[in-house]
Structure 1
Amino acid sequence: MTDTTAGSGRRRSAEDRRGQLIGIGLGMLVDRPWHQITVDAVAHRAGISRGLLFHYFPTKQDYYAQLVRAAARRFLRAIDSDPGADPLRSMIAHFVRYMRRRSGPVIGLLRAAGQDPVIEAIIEQLHDELTDRVFAALGRAAPSTAERLLVRSWWAMAQELTAQWLVRDDVDQDRLDELLFITLSRVLDSAATRRTAAR
């Protein structure tokens, strides 16, 4: 099966074509959740047949899994803390900013668990990474199970609060950033108090 770049006659490598197809899906995620993206639409935008798409991704599920992994990596890169900044405040500010630009797709991504076991595993890994980043920012290498659960719960609250906040007309990002920082600080203080009392 030959796969060439339209108009150039140059044969595309399999890696190059897979990257292009995932890139198209990521572009479509800007205005819709992942499960509303069809492989037919992706193939059409790439200028290839549906059958050729399945040459690179054996099943529709495989394409969606790769797309969700790529979206999760993009999301994590977007909330990286700025060098030299307070790591928690910077991460929260980037999270809110990214949610402001792409709240619909992000919420669709973060709520994807349960729709498919492969997708669910990817989203679980994403939530684990988000939790790890909080403790890494604090220089904490071995948080307790209770502390990890508290921070995972804070992320769920942060996602819901931010999504609701951003649909209002009087959005003040600085105020939201501070509110999220304060609630996270209180969650962490509560966890530390419980840890100290248990000794």
Structure 2
Amino acid sequence: MPETSPRVRRTAEDRRKQLIGIGLEKLRDRPWHQITVDSVAAEAGISRGLLFHYFPTKQDYYAELMRAGARRLLRATRVDDAVPAGGRVRAMVDGYVRFLERRRAAYLSVMAAAAVDPDTREVHDQIQSELAGRLLDALRADGVVVEGAWVTSVVRSWWSFAEDLTVRSTATDDHDRDRLVQLLVNALGELVAVARR
């Protein structure tokens, strides 16, 4: 008779992490609205009702799923302190493009959800603001003067451009990552230079 290992009770935090991890995995190949709490609960080996013990509503679960995805994006675009001045912006943009290459379907799903769901739109807006702030810091570290509301607005708008172009460019397997990153970095430099005049 095969031995079965004793069932280990998870802490609430461990269970929440597990449920979010399952949702993030499912987001890799399907839009967020096709992820059912029933399928997540089944994969976790728990009842649907128990999932709602950790997330009071389905919307709460989806919102936390979006925040977890946003945290992954922020980690992917974090620039190591060892990156020398002059290369920080490029490193950040490269991290962003690589993230979208791996998680394009999930990212598109979030973008579509942001158009209709206020919670997802809030997460999307927060991530855009955080990325713009980091980019301004990277520009400063690279020796670029980036003061004033106009420059900040230009950098924030550039992220929207970068997002759209990266989503479009990564639609095919034969896109040229280095060319895309260089184009984005050059476009940012030109926009900031014009905004500073």
Question: Which TM bucket (shorter chain)?
Answer: 0.7 to 0.9
Deviation of the 1:33 alpha carbon: 2.8
Distance of aligned partners of 1:81 and 1:70 in 2 relative to their CA distance in 1, 3 Å threshold:
same
In 1: Cα distance, 2:173 partner to 2:19 partner: 36
Distance of aligned partners of 1:88 and 1:111 in 2 relative to their CA distance in 1, 3 Å threshold:
farther
Q: Is the 8 A contact 1:43 1:53 kept in 2?
A: yes
Please state whether the residue corresponding to 1:8 is helix, strand or coil.
coil
Q: 1:149 maps to what in 2?
A: 153
Please state whether the residue corresponding to 1:84 is helix, strand or coil.
coil
Q: 1:12 maps to what in 2?
A: 10
Q: 2:187 maps to what in 1?
A: 183
In 2: Cα distance, 1:93 partner to 1:31 partner: 23
What do residues 39-86 of structure 1 show as CA deviations (whole Å, max 9, x unaligned)?
Answer: 111111111111110011000011011111010000110112243241
The alignment-based identity, stated in percent, is 48
Matched pairs, number: 188
Q: Is the 8 A contact 1:135 1:141 kept in 2?
A: no
RMSD: 2.1
Deviation of the 1:38 alpha carbon: 1.4
- TM-score normalized by the length of structure 1: 0.86
In 2: Cα distance, 1:62 partner to 1:144 partner: 37
Distance of aligned partners of 1:105 and 1:127 in 2 relative to their CA distance in 1, 3 Å threshold:
same
5+ residue gaps, structure 1, are 1-5, 194-199
Deviation of the 1:142 alpha carbon: 7.7
Please state whether the residue corresponding to 2:192 is helix, strand or coil.
helix
Distance of aligned partners of 1:78 and 1:127 in 2 relative to their CA distance in 1, 3 Å threshold:
same
Q: Which amino acid aligns with 1:84?
A: V
Q: Is 2:125 the counterpart of 1:124?
A: yes
Deviation of the 1:111 alpha carbon: 4.4
Distance of aligned partners of 1:104 and 1:190 in 2 relative to their CA distance in 1, 3 Å threshold:
same
In 2: Cα distance, 1:84 partner to 1:129 partner: 20
Q: 1:35 aligns with which of 20, 29, 33?
A: 33
Distance of aligned partners of 1:41 and 1:121 in 2 relative to their CA distance in 1, 3 Å threshold:
same
- TM-score normalized by the length of structure 2: 0.87
Which structure would you say has the larger RCO, counting Cα contacts within 8 Å and 6 or more residues apart?
2
In 1: Cα distance, 2:112 partner to 2:151 partner: 22
In 2: Cα distance, 1:87 partner to 1:24 partner: 33
Distance of aligned partners of 1:42 and 1:7 in 2 relative to their CA distance in 1, 3 Å threshold:
farther
